[in-house]
Amino acid sequence: MKLTILIIGCGDLGITLGRELIDEGHRVIGVRRKTAVLKDTGIEPLALDLNDLDEANASALPQADYVIYSVSADRFEESAYQSAYPDGLKRVLNVMEQHKKSPRRVFFVSSTSVYGQQEGEEVTEDSPIGPTSFSGMLMHEAEQLLLNHPLPGTVVRFSGIYGPGRDRLIHQVAEGRIAAVTPVIYSNRIHRDDCTGILAHLIRRQESGQSLAELYLGSDCEPVTLHNVMAWIGKQLKVESTDTMQSPLRRRASKRCNNQRILETGYQFSYPSYREGYAQILKEGGFLETQKA
């Protein structure tokens, strides 16, 4: 059956997901302030600033079978996060619940920044959260807003997203930089294509009549220290590290994300660890050829 899927905040992740869903025969509408980047993607553009969304007008957003809320704050400030996450999501939900036909499910793309663990503890969907930054606190506020709303909703907490164009770590290694061995800082990662793969998989799962949980951890199958990730990349690039990076105390969150719940739904990772994911980026991004030159 052809579905209509509304992607709110249709950036890199949304465009990749949209193309995947279009290939499956669905209609995808992408909402963003400036829609020029959606040209030639097959995604129907809808130019809209969520701050201007008329909550009293049911036609302010089109009716959809599924809604993906994947907005990014435009700057790292508390006011921007307040606007992008709890406030923006609330406006969207208030519009969507007025439709004669409600969405079958709303997905909120969240972050593992809602956890506050610092000693390498394993975390699951049931672990206590304790965000220490305004970004994590506001992200969690938005999660609760969705889960307490009458519309059916699912939160997916993604860990550090990397992929094409998200290659800052590779550039740091290429410059001879590496994370310190101690203190031990665990790094949880997920390739962009697995982020979109998980969201598409969950839609297919509901469409097949299977139940969905309210919360999933979206992270790959191998939590690893940041030092080890950078050392592995350096080995591929044949680069010697000359500068040890010390993580600021305020950023020393350290946890190990357990993705068992999403695995139990039958999802199979395209990039189960950082090795497969970064190998793809190094090859397709031309980094290995650059080092040879």
Contact residues for 4 (Cβ-Cβ < 8 A; gap 6+): 26, 27, 28, 29, 62, 63, 64, 65, 66
Given a cut of 70, is residue 270 above it in pLDDT?
A: yes
CB 231, CB 178: distance < 8 Å? yes
List for the chain the helix, strand, coil content (%; round to 5): 40, 20, 40
Between 47 and 244, the more confident residue is 47
Residue 256 has pLDDT above 70, yes or no: yes
**Calpha distance 59→283 (Å, rounded):** 46
Closest CA to 96 of 167, 153, 47, 27: 153
Fold of 4-162+189-221+254-271: Rossmann fold (3.40.50)
Percent residues over pLDDT 70 in the chain: 96
Residue 56 confidence (pLDDT): 80
Mean pLDDT across the chain, nearest whole number?
93
Amino acid letter at 269?
F
Closest by Cα among 151, 153, 4 to 66? 4
Lowest mean pLDDT among 46-60, 151-165, 193-207: 46-60
Q: Determine the average pLDDT of the residues in 171-186.
A: 90
CB atoms closer than 10 angstroms to residue 128: 9
User: Which distant-in-sequence residues (6+ apart) come within 8 Å of 204 by Cβ?
Assistant: none
Q: For residues 198 and 70, is the Cβ–Cβ distance under 8 A? A: no
d(CA 231, CA 238): 10
Per-residue model confidence as pLDDT tens digits over 55-108: 888 889 999 999 999 999 999 999 999 999 999 999 999 999 999 999 999 999
Q: Are 6 and 20 in contact (CB under 8 A)?
A: no
Calculate the alpha carbon distances from 192 to 86, 121, 197, 248, 277 in Å: 24, 24, 8, 26, 9
Task: Please check the confidence at residue 249 and state whether its pLDDT lies above 90.
Answer: no
Using CA atoms, how far apart are residues 89 and 67, in angstroms rounded to an integer? Answer: 11
Query: Phi and psi of 85, rounded to 5°?
Result: -100, -85
pLDDT at position 247 is 63
